[in-house]
Amino acid sequence: MDQETQRSQLKKLILQGKEKGFLTYGEINDHLPEDVHDTDQIEAVVNMINDMGIQVYDEPPDPETLLLKNDQPPPVEDEEETAEEVEQVAKSAVESEFGRTTDPVRMYMREMGTVELLTREGEIELAKRIEDGVRQTTEAIAACPAAIAEVVRLMDLVEIEQLRLTDLVVDFVDPNATNLPPPEESTAAKTAAKDEDEEAEADGGDSDEDVGPDREEAFARFARIRKLHASLLKAMDKNGYDSPEVKRIQHKLADEFMQIKFLSRQINRLVEHVRALVDESRAQEKVIMDICVGRARMPRKTFLKIFPGHETSKRWVKKAVKTGEGNVHTIEANSDKILAAQGRLTQIEERAGLPIAELKEVNRRMSIGEAKARRAKKEMVEANLRLVISIAKKYTNRGLQFLDLIQEGNIGLMKAVDKFEYRRGYKFSTYATWWIRQAITRSIADQARTIRIPVHMIETINKLNRISRQMLQEMGREATPEELAERMEMPEDKIRKVLKISKEPISMETPVGDDDDSHLGDFVEDANTVAPPEAATSSGLKYATSEILETLTPREAKVLRMRFGIGMNTDHTLEE
């Protein structure tokens, strides 16, 4: 039922209610569209009718009830005004109530449509916010000696070839790069393809010396980071953590870090490394707080005032007792547990290379940077969801549902947001299109078939099909595996293997014959069922054996039956 019909039905219903002064639920139900079953929608329509001064009953009330309730029909206004009012109410009701949908695709598109598209300037602004958030996170990591020590350890593994360079570094950033003029679209596609190849390398592909960042440049940068790390440790030992010299070296380290595009999972590992130290310290602080606040009844405000900054001070217990707040005897009785927790906090400080308070500050700055980058990435993704829809529409009817195509495209879009570099000059949509298309085609190749085939084998199958069609046109017949192997320059056994796995599965319910009265499944042999000839032979053998046994004496027949297990579950030995 279209909206115009719905509107006219509702208009007719409201006019009828205005004339009588009431309506029944049955009348409302008769005028509602067939697809409206939701109680919330029906309730909203009833409330709207009540707001117009029209009462709704289960059954038509008698005249006395109407008079007692003083439910007189509303005064009849000018007919044109009434018609106009009803028209407006009907229109708004149709749009607000019947316009609702439970179709997930329509709901997704409606939500997506509320986000405005980005201009080139908007894209650059979001990209800068992402970069700013990443920089803030990187600066926080650079301020933690434990995180830098972990990076140096990974660099050492790369240099002794126990870790691939592409497992640590994606690329290097040119600090002198400015906004370049917009390149051709093919350049963006090549850049995306290069990024995708580098990601595949990092995910476990075969390493190639020519692919990925330059090793000599990488080792030179690693050497600078090592040198700065050593200088930082010396400055911290000599001048303390808050000295200007330490701050200067930390800024230099952060600058060096920002020139290297680390693999995102390595950045996440460093973040988790710092966060794990913070979680450990909080666990020990909770032990101390439970003793002082929970058991000794020290006011929480007092504890938070005297504890921060003295996390590892052995004199803190005496200081807590001197305050006189709470049960000081309980604090003294549990002083060993408090000192043990403080000892573990001291170990955490040694591992982190920072005081507990500074470690928390690093974690706070790191979390702010992460949140800033995450928020900007979310806005960038939401603003480009329409692009995913437009690309996904071209890949329908290939084995995946439309929502699955959208989901895979969104994954590609998120990867594009992670890797987008606004300084290269092209628009984000130009770069993201390649990533979205790649994600969708990969997912179709990976998931569309009933029996899954690896993506690299799909590419071989497609190439084989293309060449076999080409040879069919050239020779007028199907090519043999030997001819295909020669044309594709592949071993013949591999060609036979590809031909074997490239066959499409067929339904057991496929009709066979012209009458469609039998199916393919009817002709598949059941290996578990006894074949009729074997069943007949077995039956004849049983009959003949029983006939012969009847010619013997009962004792002899019983001995033979027991010895060979005839008519029994098992045979027996002579002793039995």
Among residues 141, 391, 465, 132, which one has the least CA distance to residue 278?
A: 141
For residues 27 and 93, membership in a common domain is answered with yes
Indicate whether 220 belongs to any domain: no
pLDDT computed for residue 77 by the predictor: 46
For residues 469 and 547, membership in a common domain is answered with no
Q: Are the C-beta atoms of residues 52 and 89 closer than 8 Å to each other?
A: yes
For residues 415 and 481, membership in a common domain is answered with no
Indicate whether 39 belongs to any domain: yes
For residues 346 and 286, membership in a common domain is answered with yes
Any long-range contacts for 426-430 (C-beta under 8 Å, 24+ apart)?
Answer: 426/182, 426/183, 426/185, 426/187, 426/188, 426/191, 427/120, 427/123, 427/182, 428/118, 428/123, 428/127, 428/380, 428/384, 429/384, 429/387, 430/185, 430/188
Any long-range contacts for 246-253 (C-beta under 8 Å, 24+ apart)?
Answer: 250/139, 250/142, 250/143, 251/139, 252/228, 253/142, 253/148, 253/225, 253/228, 253/229
For residues 433 and 464, membership in a common domain is answered with no
Distance CA 19, CA 454 (A): 70
Among residues 473, 470, 406, which one has the least CA distance to residue 440?
A: 406
Question: Strand, coil or helix: what is 79?
Answer: helix
pLDDT computed for residue 265 by the predictor: 84
Q: Are the C-beta atoms of residues 369 and 257 closer than 8 Å to each other?
A: no
Q: Are the C-beta atoms of residues 562 and 572 closer than 8 Å to each other?
A: yes
For residues 423 and 475, membership in a common domain is answered with no
Give the HSE-up count for residue 537: Cα atoms under 13 Å, Cβ half-sphere: 5
pLDDT computed for residue 378 by the predictor: 93
The residue to which tokens 């069943």 are assigned: 535
Q: Which residues contact 422 (CB under 8 A, 6 or more apart)?
A: 123, 124, 127, 128, 179, 428
Q: Give the end of a domain, one of 447, 477, 492.
A: 447
Dump the DSSP string for 450-497: SS---HHHHHHHHHHHHHHHHHHHHHSSPPPHHHHHHHHT--HHHHHH
Distance CA 362, CA 140 (A): 5
Q: Give the end of a domain, one of 420, 447, 474.
A: 447
Q: Which residues contact 379 (CB under 8 A, 6 or more apart)?
A: 126
Could you tell me the residue range of the domain that residue 553 belongs to? 532-564
Which tokens hold the place of 80? 């044109």
Distance CA 417, CA 86 (A): 50
Indicate whether 235 belongs to any domain: no
Task: Find the helix or strand (DSSP H, E) in which 519 lies.
Answer: strand 518-519
Q: Rounded to 10 degrees, what is the CA torsion of 543, 547, 553, 556?
A: -40
Indicate whether 394 belongs to any domain: yes
Indicate whether 484 belongs to any domain: yes
Indicate whether 178 belongs to any domain: no
Residue 74: φ, ψ to 5°: -60, 150
Report DSSP state, residue 76.
Answer: P
Distance CA 428, CA 124 (A): 9
Paired residues of 519 in beta bridges: 511
**C-alpha 171 chain-centroid distance:** 26
Q: Are the C-beta atoms of residues 366 and 137 closer than 8 Å to each other?
A: yes
For residues 9 and 77, membership in a common domain is answered with yes
Paired residues of 172 in beta bridges: 260
Q: Are the C-beta atoms of residues 390 and 429 closer than 8 Å to each other?
A: no
Q: Are the C-beta atoms of residues 183 and 430 closer than 8 Å to each other?
A: no
Distance CA 429, CA 507 (A): 42
Q: Give the end of a domain, one of 78, 100, 122.
A: 100
For residues 509 and 538, membership in a common domain is answered with no
Q: Model-level pTM?
A: 0.62
Distance CA 227, CA 202 (A): 27
Give the HSE-up count for residue 311: Cα atoms under 13 Å, Cβ half-sphere: 22
Indicate whether 258 belongs to any domain: no
Q: Are the C-beta atoms of residues 215 and 165 closer than 8 Å to each other?
A: yes
For residues 438 and 487, membership in a common domain is answered with no
Query: What CATH number corresponds to the domain at position 520?
Result: 1.10.10.10
For residues 407 and 466, membership in a common domain is answered with no
Distance CA 436, CA 444 (A): 12
pLDDT computed for residue 423 by the predictor: 84
For residues 411 and 332, membership in a common domain is answered with no
For residues 482 and 417, membership in a common domain is answered with no
Distance CA 49, CA 14 (A): 7
Question: Strand, coil or helix: what is 556?
Answer: helix
Paired residues of 260 in beta bridges: 172
How many distinct structural domains can be found in the chain?
Answer: 5
Indicate whether 206 belongs to any domain: no
Q: What is the mean pLDDT of each run of 10 residues along the chain (576 residues)?
A: 67 78 77 62 73 76 58 47 54 51 77 85 91 86 85 87 84 60 50 56 45 79 87 83 82 82 84 91 91 87 86 84 82 88 90 87 90 92 92 88 92 92 86 93 82 79 90 90 90 89 81 78 80 86 86 85 79 72
Among residues 398, 136, 389, 358, which one has the least CA distance to residue 258?
A: 136
pLDDT computed for residue 203 by the predictor: 47
Q: Which residues contact 159 (CB under 8 A, 6 or more apart)?
A: 219, 222
